[in-house]
Amino acid sequence: MRERVSLALVHHPTLDRRGAVVATAVTTLDLHDFARLGRTYGLGPVYAATPLDGQRSLVARLLGHWVGGRGGELNPGRREALESLRVVGSLPEAARDLEMRWGEPPVLLGTSAREGPDRLGFRQARALLRDGGQPALLVFGTGWGLAPEAVAACRWVLEPVRGAGGYNHLSVRSAASIVVDRLLGPD
């Protein structure tokens, strides 16, 4: 079941600090962390979505080093993780790639640090992934989170990861790790 769940790290359309819609810069450490997370939990491909050619070239160089090059020779575990990384121009392109791979479109499950109406609880989402049978794409936004247009593309949005109290400013690396463990970790 897990191999029919994928991750997308979206760099556009995302929000900046002031709420404007922007394309964020790729943080290479995010790609490593997401790929290692996906591989550790036995997930499907990990997508990095950015419309910027220069940013896609950066990711391609990173993959050249870690998958085809010297980095992968020195650190085969890292290569094994990054082999699952795909760079795409947009979230819909990631969904289409998965549809081709799996023969049916994935359900898009968005994430947000903000409260909102109709958020899907972690228990429900866990049951959905386990029993639903339909492939799923978990969508994470960089910067200050997914822009409304990206949220609107999602069938559901997960409830925020709440720790204790009202402060809730996890990095996308931390949030994705916790979300994946809550949805797909051991019982």
We find the least distance from the C-beta atom of residue 158 to a second copy, in angstroms, to be 14
In whole angstroms, how close is the CB of 186 to a second copy at the nearest point? 7
Select 154 or 176, whichever has its Cβ closest to a second copy.
Answer: 176
Among candidates 52, 38, 16, which has minimal Cα distance to 82?
38
Q: Which residues bind a second copy (CB under 8 A)?
A: 2, 17, 27, 29, 32-33, 36-37, 39-42, 74-75, 77-78, 80-81, 161-165, 167-171, 173-178, 181-182, 184-186
Element (H, E) at 37: helix 28-40
Which residue, 95 or 137, has its beta carbon nearer to a second copy? 137
Q: Please say which residue, 131 or 169, places its beta carbon nearer to a second copy.
A: 169
State which residue, 35 or 98, has the beta carbon closest to a second copy: 35
For residues 157 and 111, the answer to whether their CB atoms sit within 8 Å is yes
Q: Could you identify the residue written with the tokens 């080093």?
A: 65
Distance CA 142, CA 24 (A): 7
**SS3 state at 145:** coil
